[in-house]
Structure 1
Amino acid sequence: MKIMKKIIALSIFILFLIHPLIYAQIKSQNNNIWLHYVGKNKVSKKTFLTLEATMRYANGFKEKQQYFVRPSVDYQVNKTLLASIGYTHYNTFVYGNPALNKRPIPENHLWVQTNFTHQIGAFRLTNRIRDENRWVGLATLKPNSNEYIIGDYAYRNRLRYMPMVTFPVLKHEKSTVINGFVGDEAFINIGKNAGATLFNQNRLILGLGYVISKKSQIQLSYIKQRIWNLTDTIEETNPTLRVSYLTNLDFTKN
């Protein structure tokens, strides 16, 4: 129990640390809507194949913000530790005023992740750490033209840390029907190509989940997203509504 208290105290402390007081030269705001899917598929006693995908819009549905596709292989090391390796393909569009990009920017990530879970009474505490190796498209002007093209890719390294607490809100016949969750995720630039700012993004997350069955759930989240560009000249603060559909299928059962 003492260890659990230390973990909770450390998580709360980090939550305060990851709201940096960084002031960019230009500040903007976009009201986002994200459509999100996560499918977890058990294929052996300890192995899972997961597919995550999202389509993100800025300023309602007026502008495309970003999409990604993220397959991964997950291994349940023990009761509390889930280890993963995966790939993500992103495409970030030109949106907002001012826009962060000159043209749509592709990214390819290879990443490793650990997810620690501890049950403390009715509360489930998770600590997710992801190390992302990123290859980010660089927009350059096409010779003798005003058109931007992807001329090359730059390697960047980013660390993501997300503590999350999940708890029951409404139960029926001893089963949770609606759960709540609160957390925060920090995106930290590391390595020699980290840029002018330590933080790439930060997301404060609050939400509710409706448990349809043991195999599926719908979640509605409010996310306060903050983004800083590589040179720290633009900062976005984006109130975001995320609608998620989660599935959990077991292919080991006949």
Structure 2
Amino acid sequence: MARPLTVVTGGSRGIGAATCLRLAADGHDVVVGYVRDATAAESVAAGVREAGGRALTVRVDTSVEEDVERLFDLAEDRLGPVTGLVNNAAVTGPLGRLADADTADLRRVLDVNLLGTLLCARRAARLMTPRGSGAIVNVSSGAATLGSPGEYVHYAASKAGVDALTVGLSKELGPDGIRVNAVAPGLVETEMHTAMGDPDRPRRMAPGIPLRRSARPEEIAAAIAWLLSPDASYTTGTVLRVAGGR
């Protein structure tokens, strides 16, 4: 049987990088989408190849339609039919109250987290529907139901949109043999906390989580890999919370 081919956006670091490596270990070929750090993306691709998979790195801003089209075009031209998509690319903007947020930051969060996910899911649906099979996993957030007051309610709102997309698209594509699910991580040890201006956030917030720790990216990747696997063949429309009990 041919190896599945999965496109992972935001694949050069954090949850995305861990997902690429986990999928390669599970027998996937992987397209590593990244927006800035080509060196990090190539390092992830090297790890995929070491695990026995084929890999391709593609620079893509998922909020730009032309970039998304190019991502999938290159994937299909160079590696073959895309069988899976992990919509992982996301940004938060600086931490703070909504009243203090810049409009540019609000727009960027919505453009990447929601519009970008929609654009990637739309292209994947167009490719997968005629083939009668495929799987999409959207990376949401526990923030979608917690709201994240005082930190990033705009980010939480964008992820609530991802949850709604997941449920609606699963019903739309189910008759075509395509499964659509989401993983909603809680607090995870990634570079995103530094990017939002609070590198110590995982340690500071861990006592408020029932398991009393933040997650490792690999723990989130395991949930994503399961949802893409044949073991989840009757699972669709699910938002799987992986948040340590919070």
TM-score by length of 2: 0.31
Structure with the higher helix share, 1 or 2: 2
The structure having more radius of gyration, on CA atoms, is: 1
TM-score by length of 1: 0.31
